[in-house]
């Protein structure tokens, strides 16, 4: 099939590459010439495991094209995926300007039947707005009653996890399609069924529903996952106060099949492009409908405060004034296997350390380039703080002479460090772990002063000087 993908961010690029991988002819459009130049030169503007290899294969096979040519993109695809960004507006609502502009471009130049697929995460009612924009453009062209230029707007929300997006697309647990029941909708359903047939060979994964329910499903899914994270973080803060171990609690409740283990890890808050934005957008949608989502308002508030918990532990140990102190920070991206710094807890943790006078040496396996850009933007008004932030090429480079190690992202390479070496290069054996990577008892036996999230603190054993 001929497919057009509008937008080459995480969702658009993964969708386009994976659809090309299974044999479709895919045209990827982006209005950013820099992105298209990178892609046409064999690069990938984002970090996503497995994605570059798929793009290389499909480009060599001639099944994927990258371009800024809007008219060519509309002419190419029978199915037009809109996968552009929907950043939060000032009031927390989703900014749909890029979605509607994509729809407008389709309406301006479409010739023949088109299935317009909302792949971007959009609030309930967006498909109706997309339809209205396309109809408006068709009317300007005198095609309002043209049967040849009919179209259908489909909601097909994505459920991709950054860092595992390729696997999620190729092995989906569900494919949600919101499609109208009219004549154009029935034609769209057949095309979408054909497109997704390779993913349904073992068993049917497609869930058909009305368009508004499909739009709502995406927000409800992310809101539920964000709620689980904030719930466990709230429990971890109470565990700190009553002397319980949140990891033992997690195992205790996660063994209940009605609850399960997914998204029950305590830490220093969620980030990324989805959960913060989607929770805010759903709250805003409710407000516009005259309804308050009190649970989600609490979820958002808990997450905001949770990003300060690690700094609170640091200042409780070392004092509010951190002038003259140096901290090694491991992990910058909001989660492992991505370079995404959007709403990353590291941004708040590092900003707070710098504001208290500290020096920070930070490392991340893939996000350093993006982190340099983000912190230059975050701290442009306080250049003297930015001057106290340095980025290193290895995790070991952060440690020498540092007063403490602070862990913010749970990359695999951080899970089994050489603790003897770590102790020998730090000024003092002090770790603040925002992701609960290590066992407190083991740290105590090693003589490491270890502070984690929601687990009892034990005074480290004093070891002989040569230990």
267 in helix, strand or coil? coil
Fold of 219-305: 1.10.1040
Listed as own residue / partner, the contacts of 355-359 with beta carbons closer than 8 Å and 24 or more positions apart are 355/382, 355/385, 356/315, 356/320, 356/321, 356/322, 356/323, 357/321, 357/322, 357/323, 357/324, 357/325, 358/322, 358/323, 358/325, 358/326, 358/327, 358/388, 359/325, 359/326, 359/327, 359/388, 359/389, 359/390
Options 3.90.550.10, 3.40.50.720, 1.10.1060.10, 3.40.309.10; CATH of 2-209: 3.40.50.720
Residue 389 pLDDT class (50, 70, 90 cuts): very high
> What is the predicted pLDDT for the residue at 247?
96
Q: Is 30 annotated as a binding residue?
A: yes
Buried b (16+ CB within 10 A) or exposed e, 298-321: ebbebbeebbbbbbebbbeebeee
**What does the DSSP 8-state code read for residue 115?**
E
Summarize the confidence of residues 240-259 as an average pLDDT. Answer: 96
Q: Give pLDDT tens digits for 286-314.
A: 999 999 999 999 999 999 999 999 999 99
Classify the C-alpha dihedral 183-186-190-193 as positive or negative. Answer: positive
- Over residues 457-464, the mean pLDDT reads 70
Q: Strand 430-433 to strand 404-407: parallel, antiparallel, or no bridges (unpaired)? A: parallel
- 326 belongs to an annotated ligand binding site: no
The distance of Cα 216 from the centroid of its chain, to the nearest Å, equals 19
DSSP per-residue letters across 298-310: HHHHHHHHHTTHH
pTM recorded for the entire structure: 0.90
Mean pLDDT for 247-266 is 96
* Mean of pLDDT over the chain: 94
Report the length, in residues, of the chain: 467
Answer whether residue 185 shows pLDDT above 80.
yes
Contact 262, 161 (CB under 8 A): no
3-state secondary structure of 450: strand
pLDDT at 234 over 80: yes
> Residue 349 is inside which H or E element, if any?
helix 345-355
**335 marked ligand binding residue:** yes
Distance in Å from the first CA to the final CA of the chain? 65
What is the reported pLDDT for 420?
95
Question: Residues 361-388: pLDDT tens digits?
Answer: 999 999 999 999 999 999 999 999 999 9
Q: What is the mean pLDDT of residues 115-132?
A: 95
Choose between 253 and 273: higher pLDDT. Answer: 253
373 marked as part of a ligand binding site: no
Residue 376, marked binder: no
The whole-number pLDDT of residue 399 equals 97
pLDDT classification of 236: cutoffs 50, 70, 90 = very high
Rg (CA), the chain: 25
What pLDDT shows up at residue 89? 77
Percent of the chain with pLDDT over 90: 92
CA distance linking residue 262 with residue 311, whole number of Å: 26
Count of C-beta atoms within a 10 Å radius of residue 234: 19
265 is known to lie in a ligand binding site:
yes
423 is in an annotated binding site: no
- The alpha carbon of 305 is separated from its chain's Cα centroid by a whole number of angstroms, namely 19
Separation CA 273–CA 342 (nearest Å): 6
Please indicate if the annotation marks 267 as binding a ligand.
yes
Residue 298's alpha-carbon distances to 67, 253, 294, 416, in angstroms, are 43, 21, 6, 35
Which residues on adjacent β-strands are paired with residue 175?
Answer: 206
Judge whether 285 is annotated as a binding position. Answer: no
Give yes or no for a contact between 309 and 268, defined as CB atoms under 8 angstroms apart.
yes
pLDDT of residue 204: 92
In 56-156, the DSSP E strands lie at 64-67, 79-82, 114-118, 151-155
- Contact, 226 vs 215, CB < 8 A? no
**pLDDT above 70: percentage of residues in the chain:** 99
| 414 annotated to a ligand binding site | no
Q: Is the pLDDT of residue 147 over 80?
A: no
Q: What is the DSSP string of 174-227?
A: -EEEE--SSHHHHHHHHHHHHHHGGGSSSS--EEEE-HHHHHHHHHHHHHHHHH
Quickly count: other Cβ atoms within 10 Å of residue 42's Cβ: 10
pLDDT digits (tens, 9 = 90+) for 3-31: 999 999 999 999 999 999 999 999 999 99
Distance between CA atoms of residues 403 and 430, nearest Å: 7
Check the annotation: does 57 bind a ligand: no
Is residue 464 very low, low, confident or very high in pLDDT (cuts 50, 70, 90)? Answer: low
Calculate mean pLDDT across residues 110-126. Answer: 94
Q: Which residue numbers are catalytic?
A: 274
DSSP 3-state of 160: coil
d(CA 416, CA 446): 14
**3-state SS track over 382-424:** CHHHHCCEEECCCCHHHCCCCCEEEECCCCHHHCCCCHHHHHH
Q: What is the CATH number of domain 307-451?
A: 3.40.50.720
Domains 219-305 and 307-451 are alike in CATH topology: no
Report pLDDT for 463: 59
Beta bridge partner(s), residue 4: 27, 80
Residue 270 reports pLDDT greater than 60: yes
Render pLDDT for 399-420 as a digit per residue (tens, 0 to 9): 999 999 999 999 999 999 999 9
Pairing mode of beta strands 359-363, 326-330:
parallel
CA separation, residue 288 to residues 282, 285, 418 (Å): 10, 5, 54
Q: Is 263 annotated as a binding residue?
A: yes
| Domain map (residue ranges) of the chain | 2-209, 219-305, 307-451
Q: What integer is the mean pLDDT of 101-124?
A: 95
């Amino acid at each position: 099939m001929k497919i057009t993908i509008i937008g080459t961010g995480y969702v658009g690029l993964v969708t386009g590459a994976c659809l090309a991988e299974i044999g479709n002819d895919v045209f990827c459009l982006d209005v950013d010439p820099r992105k298209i130049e990178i892609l046409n030169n064999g690069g990938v503007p984002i970090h996503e495991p497995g994605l570059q290899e798929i793009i290389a294969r499909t480009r060599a096979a001639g099944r994927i094209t990258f371009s800024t040519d809007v008219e060519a993109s509309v002419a190419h695809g029978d199915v037009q995926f809109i996968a552009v960004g929907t950043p939060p507006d000032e009031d927390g609502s989703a900014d749909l300007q890029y979605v509607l502009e994509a729809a407008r471009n389709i309406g301006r130049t479409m010739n023949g039947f088109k299935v317009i697929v909302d792949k971007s995460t959009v609030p309930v009612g967006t498909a109706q707005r997309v339809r209205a924009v396309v109809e408006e453009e068709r009317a300007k062209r005198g095609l309002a009653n043209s049967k040849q230029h009919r179209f259908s707007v489909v909601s097909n929300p994505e459920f991709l996890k950054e860092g595992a997006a390729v696997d999620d697309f190729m092995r989906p647990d569900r494919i949600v399609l919101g499609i109208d029941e009219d004549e154009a909708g029935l034609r769209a359903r057949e095309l979408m069924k054909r497109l997704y047939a390779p993913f349904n060979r073992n068993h049917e994964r497609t869930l058909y529903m009305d368009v508004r329910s499909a739009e709502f499903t995406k927000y409800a899914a992310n809101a539920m996952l964000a709620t689980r994270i904030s719930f466990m973080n709230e429990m971890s803060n109470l565990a700190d106060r009553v002397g319980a171990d949140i990891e033992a609690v997690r195992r205790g409740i996660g063994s209940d099949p009605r609850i399960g283990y997914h998204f029950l890890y305590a830490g220093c808050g969620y980030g990324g492009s989805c959960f913060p934005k989607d929770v805010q957008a759903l709250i805003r949608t409710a407000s516009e409908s005259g309804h308050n989502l009190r649970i989600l308002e609490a979820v958002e508030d808990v997450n905001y405060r949770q990003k300060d918990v690690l700094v609170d532990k640091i200042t409780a140990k070392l004092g509010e004034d951190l002038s003259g102190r140096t901290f090694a920070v491991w992990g910058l991206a909001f989660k492992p296997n991505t370079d995404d710094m959007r709403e990353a807890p590291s941004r708040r943790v590092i900003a707070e350390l710098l504001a208290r006078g500290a020096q920070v040496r930070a490392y991340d396996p893939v996000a350093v380039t993006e982190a340099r850009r983000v912190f230059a933007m975050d701290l442009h008004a306080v250049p003297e703080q930015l001057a106290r932030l340095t980025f290193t090429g290895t995790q070991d480079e952060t440690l020498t002479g540092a007063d403490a190690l602070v862990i913010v992202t749970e990359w695999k390479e951080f899970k089994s460090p050489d603790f003897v070496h770590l102790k020998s290069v730090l000024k003092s054996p002090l770790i603040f772990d925002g992701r609960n990577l290590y066992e407190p008892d083991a740290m105590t036996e090693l003589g490491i002063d270890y502070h984690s999230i929601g687990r009892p603190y034990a005074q480290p054993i004093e070891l002989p000087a040569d230990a």
